[in-house]
Each structure stands twice: as structure tokens, then as C-alpha cells.
Chains A and B, each alone.
Chain A
């Protein structure tokens, strides 16, 4: 595998990681909440899609039409009735509660769908590829995921910069108390942010389930990738998150080209280098963009 090819595959993989990371980044930016169950919810969404696919009615992409709204509603409910109660001056309650949620989800899945590795199939689309000169092949599905991630992040950043909801999100991340003085309810703003985050992670979970296999315990790896992308990119910046995700993707694929089977380790090492030398991330900005 040539280096150029590895870089291209890495960029595409970055699109998938960006989808994982965007929700984590959004929830942290809006309500200063680190959702340790983020990866577990992605796995939950993948199993949801698997369940729908097994009924034979829909393929995994069509299943998203059910899974994404369902996960968004779940996000809203989980935020309003569980996470909201953990918000406060200390980040500890939220960490403990989301960690607990991740364990509950993982074990419930282990009990109900077994520990077997699963995969979502798209048939011919799975292997479809665009052949470029130099023996480079761009997989149609990874390319579609990458483009989707770009479009979704562009939309989200448009919402944040142009709409009243976006202004409220940025205001609430500055000062929730004063947002209330202006007649808006921060809890509702948080609820919708969680809905968006869960919707995104549902897409990420399903897309990942098409690209590689998953099991009930895949959540922690998803969470780590999302974290690494967010930290490399810089906290609170959506485009930074996209950039961080691409850097992580390239680190993994180039790593695999150099030392096969060590790709995840090499990704972690690159992350650690960033943490040591650029702890603020590639884009260091305080405000949510």
C-alpha cells in the first residue's frame, strides 16, 4: 500500500471519526458534559439497525430513517431526565452517570444479542470503488461517509452561526443564567443539543457497522477515537473536530502501512504527541463555532 493511498484512506476514515466526535464535541461545548456513554450509544444504534435489517424490510441506510430519529428522541429524553440532573459545578456526577450508562448498555446488549461480532451489509455497495491512476481505489461507501460528514458539519456550523437556536447554544455555553433572564430555557437548549449529538452518533454507529464489524463492547473504542479527534482538533470547534478526525484517520492508515496490525496503537501515539506538544488542539478557540 503506497503512502499516498494510505493518506487518502485515512482522510476518508476521518469522515467516520468526525461523525463520532461531533456529538461529543457539541455536548461538551454546550453543557460542559463529557458523555462517557457516547460510544455505547453508537453501538446501540448499530444493533438497532441490525434488528431492522434482519426483519428483511430495509437495508442499513434506509434503517437510518428510523434509527436516527429514535436516537435523537432518546438523546433528548436521556438529557432531560438523567444528564440534566448531573450538571453542576463539578464534572464528576456526569462522568460517573455516563460511565454507568455505558456499562448498562454494554451488558444489556451482551445479555440480549450475545458477544458475537456483527456486521451490517450493503451488498454490492460494500465493495464498490472508484479506481484512480496509481492503483489507488477509493471505496464508494467510505467516500459517501466522508462527504456526508462534511455536509452535516457544514450544516451544523451554519445552524450554530445563523439561527436563533445556534445563537442560544453559543450564549448558553457562555452563561446559562443570563440566557434564562432573556426568556429562554437552557434545559430545552441542552435537550435539543443532545438530540443532535445522539442523531449524529447513530449515523456514526451504523456507518461504522457497515465498514467494520462490531460487538457490544465496541463502544469504548468508538469513545476513544471520538475523544482523540476532539482533543487533536481542539475543544469546542466543530471544524477543529473534523480536522482532528482526519489527522487520527491518517495516523491509523499510514500506521497500518508501516506496521500492519499496529494501526490503533499508532493512532494513540500520534494523539499523545498532540496532547504533549499542542494540548489546546489544532484550533484553539474558546467559543463554540
Chain B
């Protein structure tokens, strides 16, 4: 459903990802792993349209979306939960969720069903998003993205800066999201966490694919993750 081929992107002169190809099936899940600076966030930003692709293409539901702007992609169902959550700090939690109604997509996710999925977010709905704890913010960010009824949900490091117990709770929600037919492309530094939710992983190393596949051997993964020299 989401097909990426030969994708590269750059910040000015600095090419951050090079020749990445991957596919996410409808209703499927894929975890992208890699060390700090490997280009994981860059990949998601390019798919969401925040960064222009320098080469390659992004096809979605059979259409080429490489040239579309970010909000047009969101309206087609490619929705990113960005690194660092990026809630609207001066708006309430409820208002943050309502913003995503602007994607004008219908589906199973509504304010009610999302609050049901994240009771903690429902409890905090009247609070200013800027006053939430990190875990509450991350849950709100995912909830907001779901309101847009994504066909594919892009999750950038859900675990960033959160206690393991909270991370566990958030990851527990993912199967319920997948169940509703939403595909997930997630980025994670924690290999064990990534493998728990997804059989298939895609490993980046310095902007390139170093390994990709299903049910991979842990030794192979760590070599691809850190680079050959590091383990030799």
C-alpha cells in the first residue's frame, strides 16, 4: 500500500538518507531501527512530506504522492506522529485532537473511540497540552494522529524519554490500532521493543539500508545496527 523506492533526502548539502526502498502492506506493521543519526526521523519526515525527496518515489494506494504537500498527504491518510510529539502547547488536549478533524477523513476513529483507546488522554482532556507529562503527551500525540483516521500511521520514537512502564503501555495499544486496519510504520532505537511489535524490521545505518527482512537473527541485526567495524 505504501511503497517507497530509491528514496533519498537531504538537509541542504547533507544527504541524510540514501536510496531507501521499503513497503508497508495494508494493515501491516514495519519497524525501522537504527542508531542516533541513522536517518530514521528523516525517512519519516520525507514520507510525510516535511522534507523533499531528492531522488526516488513514494507511492501510496497506487498513486505517486512524492510531489504532494504535507497536508495533502495527511488528507490521503499518511499521518505522522513526529519526534518530540509536537502538541499545540497552548491548546487543550481536546482541542489538540480536534485539530486533526481538519484532515476530514472518516473511519473508525472518532473522539469517542480514541478516548476509549487512551483513557488517560480522556481524563486529561481539559488540560493544556503544554502542561502534560511526557507519557501523557505521547499518548495525546498518537490519539491526535488517529483522529485523522490514518491509512498508515508513522510513529517516530514513541519511547523517547519515557519510563519503560509507560512505553510498554503505549506499545500495548498498537495491536488494537492494527486491528482496525490501520497500517503502522514505526521508528525505534530500542531493537528489542521494535522486534516485540513487528516481525519485520528495516535497519538503517548512516542513511542507508543495512539490513531488512522478517524474523532476523539478533547477531545480524546488531551488526547492521552498529556497523560491521563496531562488532568486529
Residue positions of A touching B, CB distance < 8 A: 164, 167-168, 170-171, 173-175, 177-185, 286-288
Given A168-B99, A184-B102, 19 more A-B residue pairs with CB atoms under 8 Å apart are A164-B98, A170-B90, A170-B95, A174-B88, A174-B89, A174-B90, A177-B70, A178-B86, A181-B70, A181-B79, A182-B79, A182-B100, A182-B148, A183-B71, A183-B75, A183-B79, A183-B100, A183-B102, A185-B69
A184 contacts across to B, CB distance below 8 A: 71, 99, 102-103
Verify B88–A178 contact, CB threshold 8 A.
Answer: yes
Q: Given A174-B89, A174-B90, are A183 and B103 also a contact pair (CB < 8 Å)?
A: yes
CB of A183 within 8 A of CB of B74, answer: yes
- In the complex, whether B204 has a CB less than 8 A from a CB of chain A is no
- Given the known A-B contacts A181-B70, A185-B71, are A168 and B82 also in contact in the complex, defined by CB atoms under 8 Å? no
In the bound complex, residues from chain A placing their C-beta under 8 Å from that of B105 are 183
Which A residues are in CB contact (< 8 Å) with B167?
A: none
- B interface size (C-beta, 8 A): 29
Task: Report A-chain residues with C-beta under 8 Å of the C-beta of B82.
Answer: 178, 181
Asked if residues A180 and B86 are in contact (CB atoms below 8 Å), the reply is no
Interface residues of B in 83-100 (CB under 8 A from A): 86, 88-91, 95-96, 98-100
Shortest beta-carbon distance, A126 to chain B, in Å? 44
- A179–B90 Cα distance when bound, in Å, is 13
Contact B74 A287 (CB under 8 A): no
**Does B104 have its Cβ within 8 Å of any Cβ on chain A?**
yes
On whether the beta carbons of A167 and B103 are closer than 8 Å, the reply is: no
Contact of B15 with A by CB under 8 A: no
Contacting A at CB under 8 A, from B102-127, are: 102-105
Minimum C-beta distance from A236 to chain B (A): 10
- In the assembled complex, the CB of A176 is this many whole angstroms from the nearest CB of chain B, namely 10
Closest 7 CB pairs of A and B: A183-B103, A287-B90, A183-B74, A184-B102, A180-B70, A171-B88, A178-B86
User: How far is it, in angstroms, between the C-alpha of A189 and the C-alpha of B129 when the chains are bound?
Assistant: 22
Asked whether B197 is an interface residue with its Cβ less than 8 Å from the other chain, the reply is: no
B221 interface hit (Cβ, 8 Å): no
Q: For the complex, give the distance between the alpha carbons of A181 and B86 in Å.
A: 10
Chain B: residues with CB nearer than 8 A to chain A? 48-50, 69-71, 74-75, 79-80, 82, 86, 88-91, 95-96, 98-105, 144-145, 148
Asked, given contacts A180-B69, A181-B70, whether A167 binds B90 with beta carbons under 8 Å apart, the answer is no
Residues A180 and B91 in contact in the complex (CB < 8 Å), given A167-B99, A175-B86 = no
With A174-B91, A181-B80, A183-B148 known as contacts, the answer to whether A168 contacts B86 (CB < 8 A) is no
Chain A residues near B102 (CB, 8 Å)? 164, 168, 182-184
Asked if B148 and A177 sit within 8 Å, CB to CB, the answer is no
Q: Are B88 and A170 in contact (CB under 8 A)?
A: yes
A129 to B96, CA, bound (A): 49
- C-alpha spacing A183/B80, complex, angstroms: 11
Chain B residues contacting A182 (CB-CB under 8 Å) are 71, 74, 79, 99-100, 102-103, 144, 148
Which single residue of chain A is at the shortest CB-CB distance from B89? A174
Report how far A170 CA is from B89 CA in the complex, Å: 10
CA distance A208 to B80 in the complex (A): 49
Q: How far is the CB of B145 from chain A (nearest CB, A)?
A: 8
Cβ contact within 8 Å between B91 and A170: yes
Decide: A167 near B100, CB < 8 A? Known: A180-B69, A183-B75. Answer: no
Residue from B88, B98, B145 with most neighbouring chain A CB atoms (10 Å):
B88
Could you say which residues of chain B place their CB within 8 Å of the CB of A181? 48, 50, 70-71, 74, 79-80, 82, 86, 145
B91 touching A171 by the CB < 8 A rule? yes
Contacts of A178 in B (CB 8 A): 82, 86, 88
Contacting residues, chain B, for A175 (C-beta < 8 A): 86, 88
| A167 and B71 contact, CB distance less than 8 A | no
Contact of B99 among A179, A185, A286 (CB under 8 A): A179
A residues less than 8 Å from B95 (CB atoms): 167, 170-171
CB-nearest residue of chain A relative to B94? A167
Which residue in chain B gives the minimum CB-CB distance to A286? B90
User: Which residues of chain B are within 8 angstroms of A171 by Cβ–Cβ distance?
Assistant: 88, 91, 95-96, 99
CB closest chain-B residue, reference A186: B71
Instruction: Write the chain B residue with the least CB distance to A174.
Output: B88
Q: What residues of chain B lie closer than 8 Å to A177, measured between beta carbons?
A: 50, 70, 86
Ordered by A's residue number, 20 sampled pairs between the chains whose C-beta atoms are within 8 Å are A164-B98, A164-B101, A167-B91, A168-B102, A170-B88, A171-B96, A174-B90, A178-B82, A180-B69, A181-B71, A181-B145, A182-B71, A182-B79, A182-B103, A183-B71, A183-B75, A183-B102, A184-B102, A286-B90, A287-B90
